[in-house]
Amino acid sequence: MQHVNPHQVDPIEADKYVMRDDDSNIERAPHTSAPQRPGLKKIIQLFCLSLDHLSSGQFNIKMPLSRYTSINMLIAKYNSILDILSENHKKQLSFEKSLQEARRTAEQASVSKSRFLANMSHEIRTPINGIIGIARMLEDSPLSPDQKENVSILMDSSIFLSSLINDILDLSKIEAGKLEIENVLFQLDEVIELVKNTISFSAQRKRIRIFTENTSSIDTFLFGDHLRIRQILINLLGNAIKFTPEGGDISLHILTVEKSERVARIKFVVTDNGIGISDDNQKKIFAPFEQGDASTTRKYGGTGLGLSICKKLVELMGGKIGVTSTVGQGSKFWFELPIILGPAAENILPSIDRSAMDLVSFIREKEISILLAEDNPINQIVIKALMKKYSLMVDVVENGIQAIEAVGSGKYHIIFMDCQMPEMDGFEATKHIRNHPDVSISRIPIIALTANAMKGDKELCIKSGMNGFVGKPIDTGEFENVLRTILNPAPCPLPEAP
């Protein structure tokens, strides 16, 4: 037997040279096969290697039989466990693969479903808008009481259908990740006012009183998606009206929970004294298609989409939403949003001169109504605010097609028309209005609003049938001159200076 310093040889090779292991108690295998089989030391090293591989998820290092019969039993067991593990691992891999495939298929199906719903609701919206338009025209025509009743049912149903389609469209857009949150300048008071106007009719029908309280002490403009905030409020207030018996009370409270120089966390709380929601139902009503118990659903109808849309919108805007409620006593729905503070109102809105008082009192007396066609939301706010300073009543539309539709109501005295708008520009819309069969509409004064102070623009405005021209940003003096020219107010004495 050779005697070599073990530190100078590869440890795996070591047993070739010397058996220094304490293996005296281990029974050797029959002599014939012994020379090629590894000794105890090599077996231990191979074990370590195999276990290392095993711990990193590889089952490929199997143990060779050793020179010792009793250890070979252990090795055989170990190898068979390796086989089992390797087999299980293969099964798991194939299971994971099929799971991934199934997930991919499900995701694709969900995207296709959302896309289909989005397309379909869009397609359905067009004819519904047609139905609503015709119902409106019918409403304005001479009708017998029975016909009036039928038209009003037609109108209610189509408006309901349209809001349902909008909900489906919203949900499918949200699920397809296609819903974008806008960031435009708005005023909180205006949002509250519009929300109140929208829900007042259904509240009155059930003799429900609505109290609003704004203690947010926000006096600046805000940046955010006012349309979506409005949608959430209308949904929560709509639910409150729906689930509160006749003669109940509802309140909307707006407060600031946190305010820094640039951002405020604004909380909106809708409280009702209606039927309330059980603890179990409170947990599920924010999920799509979930409603309270079946009897509530039967009695009140609905799709269970409203709150899930609210939740998703609030979360898209970085906020949170929740409810506390007691069955039989009422519910308190709240949501909180971080909103970026904009400039102070006085920095945006021009002030009007005291000398304009004659014009203002004339406008008040005659209740002058303006239609503003303007697509840019910031311009809408600024121009509307300026018009309100002159006590003008203003309705806003966003493109030429809407302008033509709105002017048909015959309630406007002047149209202020942006020239560049999507769908139909101001020039085109003016030509349509000038061709209107009703002269009281076709002759309505139209003033162009345009940021393009290009030469020839004025000519283009006049050629398309407009009566005047105001540049953007609007100069108060120029605006006032246009109003004076068109309205020609009777002079009235200036108020005394203080």
Ligand X SMILES: Nc1ncnc2c1ncn2[C@@H]1O[C@H](COP(=O)(O)OP(=O)(O)O)[C@@H](O)[C@H]1O
Footprint of Mg ion (CB under 5 A): 239, 306
303 contact choice in Mg ion, ligand X, none (CB below 5 to 8 Å, kind-dependent)? ligand X
User: Toward ligand X, which CB reaches closer, 325 or 467?
Assistant: 325
Q: Strand 320-326 to strand 330-344: parallel, antiparallel, or no bridges (unpaired)?
A: antiparallel
Residue 338's nearest CA partner among 268, 269, 270 is 268
Q: What are phi and psi of 249, to 5 degrees?
A: -120, 140
291 contact choice in ligand X, Mg ion, none (CB below 5 to 8 Å, kind-dependent)? ligand X
User: Toward ligand X, which CB reaches closer, 192 or 240?
Assistant: 240
Which H or E run contains 369? Answer: strand 369-373
79 contact choice in ligand X, Mg ion, none (CB below 5 to 8 Å, kind-dependent)? none
Give residues with Cβ within 8 angstroms of 215, minimum separation 6.
253, 254, 255, 256
Q: Is the dihedral of CA 25, 31, 33, 35 positive or negative?
A: positive
User: Toward Mg ion, which CB reaches closer, 124 or 234?
Assistant: 234
Per-residue b/e over 43-57, b at no fewer than 16 CB within 10 Å?
bebbeeebeeebeee
Distance separating alpha carbons of residues 210 and 241, to the nearest angstrom: 9
Q: How far is the CB of 379 from Mg ion (least distance, A)?
A: 34
User: Toward Mg ion, which CB reaches closer, 239 or 271?
Assistant: 239
Which H or E run contains 477? Answer: helix 476-487
Query: Which residues form the interface with ligand X (CB under 6 A)?
Result: 239-240, 243, 272, 274-277, 285, 291-292, 296-297, 302-308, 331
Q: How far is the CB of 147 from Mg ion (least distance, A)?
A: 31
Q: Which residues pair with 330 in a beta bridge?
A: 326
3-state SS assignment for residue 313: helix
400 contact choice in Mg ion, ligand X, none (CB below 5 to 8 Å, kind-dependent)? none
Residue 327's nearest CA partner among 373, 289, 285, 281 is 281
Per-residue b/e over 188-201, b at no fewer than 16 CB within 10 Å?
beebbeebeeebee
What tokens were used for 444? 């309505």
Q: How far is the CB of 330 from ligand X (least distance, A)?
A: 7
6 contact choice in Mg ion, ligand X, none (CB below 5 to 8 Å, kind-dependent)? none
240 contact choice in ligand X, Mg ion, none (CB below 5 to 8 Å, kind-dependent)? ligand X
Q: How far is the CB of 305 from ligand X (least distance, A)?
A: 6
Q: How far is the CB of 105 from ligand X (least distance, A)?
A: 29
Q: How far is the CB of 120 from Mg ion (least distance, A)?
A: 21
Q: Which residue's CB comes closest to Mg ion?
A: 306
Q: How far is the CB of 107 from Mg ion (least distance, A)?
A: 29
Distance separating alpha carbons of residues 65 and 44, to the nearest angstrom: 12
Q: How far is the CB of 161 from ligand X (least distance, A)?
A: 14
User: Toward Mg ion, which CB reaches closer, 306 or 489?
Assistant: 306
User: Toward ligand X, which CB reaches closer, 117 or 371?
Assistant: 117
